[in-house]
Amino acid sequence: MLKTFKVGGIHPPENKLSAGAVVETLPLPEMVIIPVSQHIGAPAQIMVQKGDAVKVGTIIAKQTGFVSANIHSSVSGIVQKIEETFDTSGYRRKAIVINVDGDQWEDSIDQTTTLKTDIELSTSEIIQRISELGIVGLGGATFPTHVKLSIPSGKTAEILIINAVECEPYLTADHRLMLESPDEIMVGTTILMNALGVKKAVIGIEKNKPDAIAKLTETAKKYQGISVVPLKVKYPQGAEKQLIKAIFDREIPSGKLPIEVGAVVQNVGTAFAVYEAIQKNKPLIERIVTVTGKSVSKPSNFKVRIGTPVQKLIDHIGGLPKDTAKVVNGGPMMGKALRDLNVPVTKGTSGILILNKKLASRKEYVNCIRCGRCVTVCPMGLEPFLLMTHGELQMWGDAEKNHVMDCIECGSCSFTCPAHRPLLDYIRHGKSNVGKIMRNRK
């Protein structure tokens, strides 16, 4: 019996079309657009001016406050301008535009690919360096990693969980990473264990990636305290709370963080980035992005420099297929449709999904038929139909009483609703309003 979380969950068609595609390095673009807000928390403060020459790895924006992250140049070249450019939602955000000119790296970065297993730094030094090199959670939420590693006083971590679930359909970036760099992931995990002071780390992988499970189980034997747990294929297992429940069988109290039950969850991509940061002194300047879709002739995985316009990725796979209706940043469940193809790949971009008209269009919604399917599938045990009604009627008090803030926005309810009701849209509306009320109360 495979482990999984108990409440709710769905199993959407997996469509892991690019699982067999080896990670290719995308050629350097002519220019990159690097937004200063690529993480959860305060936007970074710009450190460069128009006309400055930068190298790969030069710090171009500094973190402001504790929950924030440094941003480094992903290319070498000249800063062309600092302007407000579109983000994925179409609103304007500050970004640094750099014209690419050659590929010169900062001298401090070790560009070799040899595996380095000895960890020389102490706990505080590790966290310090992770913070300096701008590492954030690469699962999609982009929460600064150094914040997660700094355990509040009075709490202790018992276990480190490496999230290699990749439960989003279509995406294969983590899958390929596990197959191609298992040793680096293990060293990265060991570094994270040292930083947290835990003796045990568990890597959770869903059963639909048997090759990755086999590879990591084999590699894990060489490293102390790391084990691999195969999990049942179920969405949203990659969500922090669900993964802790599946592996550790503990439930996080409402409104609390995973450290409350002694667990810290890091994405497998983050573990790899931590390896590169600590052992190679390399800041977070590139990541693996899956470019996929049923209409795409060759679904692929690319190693992409942060700031590369999405258009470049699409050009590389031979342009948009003719019947394209939607290009999504991320997976089909949690991803966000792009408004413009000139938006850059950021630290949180795990995939670019191209959908045709048939797959992309949402159906007109009708009245709730009280079937209760949304309640059955909600992994947080909420009642989405009720929360949607609260949102529609602006009953924020009732929404709060019914724990609207516990929603993890996985979209299982909207996915399963036979009346095609936009449940998640209204629940998010409720969350933002209730959140505002709660902040004002403080």
Partner 1 sequence: MSLIVLLSIITLCVIGVIAAVVLFYAAKKFKVYEDPRIDEVEALLPAANCGGCGFPGCRGFAEALVKADHISDMLCPVGGNETMKAIATVLGQDVKETVPMIAVVRCNGSTENRPKTSIFQGAKNCSIAHSLYIGETDCSYGCLGYGECVEACKFDAMYMDEKTGLPVIIEENCVACGACVKACPRSIIEMRKKGPKSRRIYVSCVSCDKGAIAKKACDVACIACGKCVKACPHDAITIENNLAYIDFNKCKLCRKCVDVCPTHAIVELNFPPKKITEDKETTSSIIENI
Least distance in Å: CB of 10 to partner 1? 20
Token readout for 357 is: 């008209």
Alpha helices in 328-403 (DSSP H): 357-360, 373-377, 384-392, 396-401
Cα 181 from Cα 13, distance rounded (Å): 27
Q: Measured from the CB of residue 303, what is the shortest distance to partner 1 in angstroms?
A: 29
Taking the complex as a whole, how short is the minimal distance between the CB of residue 271 and partner 1, in angstroms?
32
Measured from the Cβ of residue 203, the count of other Cβ atoms closer than 10 Å reads 28
Q: Phi-psi region for residue 418, left (φ > 0), alpha (ψ -120 to 50) or beta?
A: alpha
Q: What is the DSSP letter of 105?
A: B
**CB contact at 8 A, 379 and 408:** yes
Closer residue to partner 1, CB minimum distance, 11 or 92? 92
CA 184, 190, 193, 198 torsion-angle sign:
positive
Per the document, the length of the chain is 442
Closest CB to partner 1 among residues 43, 269: 43
Smallest separation, CB 339 to partner 1 (Å):
6
Quick one: 107 or 364, whose CB is closer to partner 1? Answer: 364
Let me know: does 312 contact 332? Beta carbons within 8 Å: no
Q: Tokens 């990265």 sit at which residue?
A: 188
Rounded to the nearest 10 degrees, the angle between the axes of helix 268-280 and helix 173-180 is 50
C-beta closer to partner 1: residue 38 or 301: 38
Residues at the site binding partner 1, with contacts judged by CB under 8 A? 88-92, 336-337, 339, 361-362, 422, 425-426, 428-429, 432
In the complex, the smallest distance separating the C-beta of residue 420 from partner 1, rounded to whole angstroms, is: 10
- For residues 362 and 441, which CB has a smaller minimum distance to partner 1 in the complex? 362
Would you say 247 or 404 has its CB closer to partner 1? Answer: 404
| Cβ at position 425, least distance to partner 1 in Å | 4
Q: Which residue in this structure is represented by tokens 């969950």? A: 9
Least distance CB 336 / partner 1 (angstroms) = 8
- Separation between Cα atoms, residue 216 and residue 57, nearest integer Å: 30
- Distance CA(422)–CA(81), nearest Å, equals 40
Question: Whose Cβ is closer to partner 1: residue 99's or residue 361's?
Answer: 361
Torsion angles phi and psi, residue 354, rounded to 5: -105, 120
Give kind and range of the element (H or E) at residue 62: strand 59-62
Minimum distance of partner 1 from residue 89's CB (angstroms):
4
Rounded least distance, CB 363 to partner 1, Å: 9
For tokens 């710009």, the residue is 46
Q: Which is nearer to partner 1, 123 or 432 (CB)?
A: 432
Closest CA to 215 of 190, 179, 245: 179
Q: Which is nearer to partner 1, 305 or 429 (CB)?
A: 429
Max Cα distance, the chain (Å): 64
